[in-house]
């Protein structure tokens, strides 16, 4: 019995470490009918080639594809569908997180309140990319939102973003969820200097992997906060 209890506590502790979350208050959830969504994720994916030493690193290149942008927006609409009475997708994108880790972050609270007032929404759903050091390449920084780092013939898609679900009146967070150890592997994918250097099949595979990782991240967040 003691061993079983200890095991249960250990698993619970690991779960809390890997997933930090707080669900939305049921009464508040019932009152949120109309939300406005703003995102700056999906416009670009930066790729890095990581060498076995710093001398083997190659200059980062970006993927800018209308198809990627459309795919990310499609995922947003699909994952939010049916969860609220009305969802408005704002053409305005939230301000970017600064690349300097010591710089002050934008005031998303005030920005969200202004956006909610403009669209007469009950809550604001903001998604913004963030710069981050991937655990597999601590000396290299990814792009905002989505990034792929390559090592040899293996690519790793990473989704680094901040999601804010904010009250329209106060600008305060209605819930919180953090997912750790994300990412998916793209085998047999060499680093090429330009996205156009890949075949159409390879381009489609890269875009699909980025889209799938974004969907996984978004779905996990919504489930984690109670939707």
| Packing angle of the helix pair 200-225, 66-80 (nearest 10 deg) | 30
Please give the sequence-ordered ranges of beta strands (E in DSSP) within the chain, or none if there are none. 19-22, 34-39, 45-49, 58-63, 86-89, 123-129, 145-151, 154-167, 176-179, 184-187
Dist. CA 12–CA 18, nearest whole Å:
10
pLDDT in tens, 32-88: 999 999 999 988 787 777 665 555 556 667 788 889 899 999 999 999 999 999 999
Residue pLDDT, tens place only, 132-187:
665 555 555 555 678 888 888 888 888 888 899 999 999 999 998 877 666 888 89
pTM: 0.83
* CA proximity to 168, closest of 109, 213, 211: 109
> Are 44 and 183 within 8 A, CB to CB?
no
Angle formed at CA 171 by CA 170 and CA 177, multiple of 5 degrees: 125
Task: Tell me the C-alpha distance between 157 and 131, whole Å.
Answer: 14
Place of tokens 């470490």: 17
Per residue in 82-112, pLDDT tens?
999 999 999 999 998 887 778 888 999 999 9
């Amino acid at each position: 019995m003691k061993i079983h209890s200890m095991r249960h506590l250990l698993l619970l502790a690991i779960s809390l470490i890997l997933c930090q979350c707080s669900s939305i208050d049921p009464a508040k959830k019932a009152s949120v009918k109309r939300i406005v969504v703003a995102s700056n994720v999906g416009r670009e994916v930066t790729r890095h080639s990581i060498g076995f030493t710093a001398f083997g690193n190659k200059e980062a290149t970006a993927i800018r594809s209308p198809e990627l942008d459309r795919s990310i927006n499609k995922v947003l609409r699909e994952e939010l569908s049916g969860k609220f009475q009305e969802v408005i997708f704002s053409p305005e994108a939230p301000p970017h997180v600064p690349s300097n880790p010591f710089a002050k972050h934008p005031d998303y609270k005030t920005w969200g309140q202004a956006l909610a007032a403009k669209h007469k929404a009950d809550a604001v759903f903001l998604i913004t990319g963030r710069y981050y050091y991937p655990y597999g390449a601590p000396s290299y920084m990814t792009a905002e939102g989505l990034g792929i780092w390559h090592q040899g013939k293996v690519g790793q898609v990473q989704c680094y973003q901040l999601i804010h679900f904010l009250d329209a009146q106060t600008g305060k967070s209605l819930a919180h969820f953090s997912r750790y150890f994300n990412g998916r592997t793209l085998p047999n994918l060499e680093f090429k200097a330009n996205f156009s250097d890949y075949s159409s099949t390879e381009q489609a595979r890269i875009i699909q992997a980025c889209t799938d990782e974004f969907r996984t991240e978004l779905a996990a967040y919504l489930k984690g906060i109670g939707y």
